[in-house]
Amino acid sequence: MIRWLIGAISLCAVTSSALAAEPLMISIGYLGQAGIKATLSLVELPSENDGIAGARLAIEDNNTTGRFLKQQFGLEEVRVKGGDDVAGAARNLAGRNTFIIADLPPDALLQAADAVRDRGGILFNVGAADDRLREADCRANVIHIAPTRSMLADALAQYLVWKQWKRWLLVVGSHDDDRLEADAYRRAAARFGAKIVQERVFEDTGGARRTDSGVTLIQRQIPVFTQQAPAYDVMIAADESEVFASYLPYRTWDPRPVAGSAGLVPTSWHAAQDQWGAVQIQNRFTKLNARRMTARDMQAWLATRMIGEAASRTNSGDGKAILAFLKSPDFSIAGFKGQRLTIRDWNLQLRQPILLVDGRMVVSVSPQDGFLHQVSELDTLGIDRPESKCRLQ
Amino acid sequence: MQAAMMMNRSKMLCRVWLCGAATWLVTAAPASAFLAYVSNEKSNTVSVIDTDSWTVTATIKVGQRPRGIELTRDGKSVLVAVGDDDTIQIIDVASQKVVDSLPSGPDPELFTQDAAGKILYVANENDNTVTVIDLEKRVRIGDVQVGVEPEGMAISPDGKILINTSETTNMAHFIDTATREIVANVLVDARPRFAEFKRDGSELWVSSEIGGTVSVIDPAKRVVTDKIEFNIPGLRREAIQPVGIGMTRDAKTAFIALGPANRIAIVDAATHKVIKYLLVGQRVWHMAFTPDEKYLLVTNGVSNDVSVIDVAAQKVIKTIQVGELPWGVAMARP
């Protein structure tokens, strides 16, 4: 914070000597959680700066544009631990920043949103995929950049149906988030004509994710767990909690591909994405952060760029003006996914293509050809306007 | 006029037949034929098309990811930006071989020359700069800091103003060619990719790929005065992504490539109204006129071919298979 202030002040000094007017300061808060979520795969373990690294790149991009418009962007980071007063932290942050990028679990996100609403604070949800945040629990001051579970599931389902892999064996973890993910796959199967031939639950019995002789044990467990299944084309894993899904590929009883939480995974971004000018942002990101760009990084980059884009279009840093612009039909943002990204005005969710990746390559991008929609084919992904329970207020 | 065109077509058909019969005859093509150089982004080649026989007569191996391509003013060389090799290669027109390269800066994509053909301005996508190169000495003589992801490049007919568009900043930057300082910035719609002046300098057109529009800018006042939009029945708005622009010398007609809409929009350049849409190949990128402006060649990125448009008849008359993912096209006299 202090460093950022000094940086900003010295920059102001430099530019004000050169230019008549002082640049307009637009400050953005980043409210995230402390700690790192455990993953089964060591290579997928998130960095400490997962997410905010994307926001930092977007601040640089916004400031490059800002030079020409006399706008200067700053970023202030706050991390909360479980049990901390999220509402208090959000209020405090909102005292200095109209815009807050939030990487929080759903309940914490709602607490933060409600705490800053009276003072005009606007949240950008870059972490929570929960559909309920865009449905019954939607808020007029929260813009959702992260895709929902239903958008991700629909994206995968469209591809599997196009492949004619319509018989699914659904394996669900035993945690709440896993069940929500499974709900999204059930909905997607019904929407796009796939059939879930059987469901199995993989109980989390505890234990370490990393052990010295792990492979030997897993190699015995998974074939047994997946045997005697009815005929199926693809195994769908719903395991947000990172307990078992990554153990499935190549170990199933029947030789079948795995998709969902492992194998072919739907995601908003991946380091392998190289189409539509994406190499440019991948290079810029790696140069700044000395690592590859994740989905959370991209979501935070987009949130920060959307604020920058709205500031340059409205020539303003005012929260009301920027929110009004983002909600208007004039708004669109380029996100290196081959088409304009816009906002669903009924629940403030960013429309976006979803990448289907196998960990090393982008296999396909949904929506798939032939899935049509009267407004935008991107609205074939996720809960559409007529089904929405959201009443913004 | 009509008769002359028909003559041309029958002559063309005749030559196609001759080509099939004896390819060596192509080398004896008359002086009226031109050569189109097409950069193939994925093949790492440049296809050479004879505009008389409408066949590919040579395929030149170049560096990695060739995109922006232009003929030098003296007509002796074709310059091609090979982005993944961080350089611009020089193809000798006489020998049809790569003979040298230029110090372009990282990831060059599009570039433009001054009227005398002495200075080359290159957009470097990776480091937010426009690089200035002395073409004779083949050395870098300066840089201009611009917005994020510089792309489109154009020079005003009087040579005083260089235009660069930046894709993530969404601006057309006006650069004074004498001082190499930015003198104005004009906001346009999202992801501006290409800039083109009318020959009389009265208008600057900038295409916005993601915004889906072409902004018409008054170069004197440096403001957007009009926006060209495209409505194609049955096509979703997201698929309409304007990229390359070509304008006839008389500034009456403009052709705009609409990317994954697979169409070229023909626009009345005076009224800015779309006259017609021509269906071409998949993901149409860029274009070049034959010097007599009888034909316009457009590159179709995904269908790996080039469509030939009869400019007067406003019709697609031919499709020519080239390398993989054709991107740019430049026209030369043989």
Task: Mark whether A191 and A340 lie in a shared domain.
Answer: no
> A53: domain range?
2-147+270-352
Q: Which residues of A89-112 are buried (b: 16+ CB within 10 A; e: fewer)?
A: bbbbbbeebbbbbbbbebebbbbb
Q: Where are the domains of chain B?
A: 2-332
| A202 belongs to a structural domain | yes
Last residue in a domain, options A219, A252, A267 = A267
Of A61, A69, A339, nearest to B238 by CB-CB distance is: A339
* Cα–Cα distance for residue pair A88/A94, rounded to 1 Å: 10
The tens digit of pLDDT for each residue in A211-245 reads: 666 777 889 999 999 999 999 999 999 999 999 99
Last residue in a domain, options A352, A367, A385 = A352
| A27 belongs to a structural domain | yes
Contacting residues for A215 by C-beta, under 8 A, at least 6 apart: none
Instruction: Search chain B and give the residue with CA nearest A351.
Output: B238
* Cα–Cα distance for residue pair B258/B280, rounded to 1 Å: 10
Task: Please indicate whether, in this complex, the C-beta atoms of A280 and B170 are within 8 angstroms of each other.
Answer: no
Mean pLDDT of chain A: 92
**Touching check for A280 and chain B: CB below 8 Å?**
yes
DSSP state of A250: T
What is the CATH number that goes with domain B2-332? 2.130.10.10
* Cα–Cα distance for residue pair A46/A299, rounded to 1 Å: 14
pLDDT at B291: 94
pLDDT at A12: 41
- Give how far Cα B187 sits from Cα of A250, A311, B121, Å: 52, 12, 21
Task: Please indicate whether, in this complex, the C-beta atoms of B168 and A61 are within 8 angstroms of each other.
Answer: yes
Percentage of chain A with pLDDT > 90?
87
The tens digit of pLDDT for each residue in A172-218 reads: 999 999 999 999 999 999 999 999 999 999 998 877 776 666 777 88
| A220 belongs to a structural domain | yes
Q: Each residue's pLDDT tens digit in chain B (334 positions)?
A: 444 444 444 444 444 444 444 444 444 444 468 999 999 999 999 999 999 999 999 999 999 999 999 999 999 999 999 999 999 999 999 999 999 999 888 888 899 999 999 999 999 887 899 999 999 999 999 999 999 999 999 999 999 999 999 999 999 999 999 999 999 999 999 999 999 999 999 999 999 999 999 999 999 999 999 999 999 988 888 899 999 999 999 999 999 999 999 999 999 999 999 999 999 999 999 999 999 999 999 999 999 999 999 999 999 999 999 999 999 999 998 7
**For residue B70, which of B122, B26, B33 has the smallest C-alpha distance?**
B122
Last residue in a domain, options A221, A238, A267 = A267
CATH of the domain at A255: 3.40.50.2300
Two tokens, residue A307: 């604020």
Task: Please indicate whether, in this complex, the C-beta atoms of A334 and B107 are within 8 angstroms of each other.
Answer: no
Task: Mark whether A319 and A185 lie in a shared domain.
Answer: no
pLDDT at B97: 95
Task: Mark whether A56 and A188 lie in a shared domain.
Answer: no
Residues of A in contact with B191 (CB under 8 A): 277, 334
User: Please, are residues B274 and B228 in contact by the beta-carbon 8 Å criterion?
Assistant: yes
Structural domains of chain A, count: 2
pLDDT at B32: 64
Task: Please indicate whether, in this complex, the C-beta atoms of A312 and B187 are within 8 angstroms of each other.
Answer: yes
Label each residue of A56-118 as H, E or C.
HHHHHHHHHHHHHHCEEEEEEEEEECCCCCHHHHHHHHHCCCCEEEEECCHHHHHHHHHHHCC
Task: Mark whether A118 and A225 lie in a shared domain.
Answer: no
**Touching check for B263 and chain A: CB below 8 Å?**
no
Task: Mark whether A89 and A141 lie in a shared domain.
Answer: yes
Instruction: Search chain A and give the residue with CA nearest B109.
Output: A277
In this structure, of A107-111, A119-123, A137-141, B17-21, the range with the lowest mean pLDDT score is B17-21
**Touching check for A68 and chain B: CB below 8 Å?**
yes
Rounded to the nearest angstrom, the minimum Cα separation between B331 and chain A is: 26
Residue of A60, A64, A71 to mutate, testing the B interface (most B Cβ within 10 Å of its Cβ) = A64
User: Please, are residues B27 and B288 in contact by the beta-carbon 8 Å criterion?
Assistant: no
Two tokens, residue B28: 């004896």
| A391 belongs to a structural domain | no
| A54 belongs to a structural domain | yes
- Intra-chain end-to-end CA distance of chain A, in Å: 32
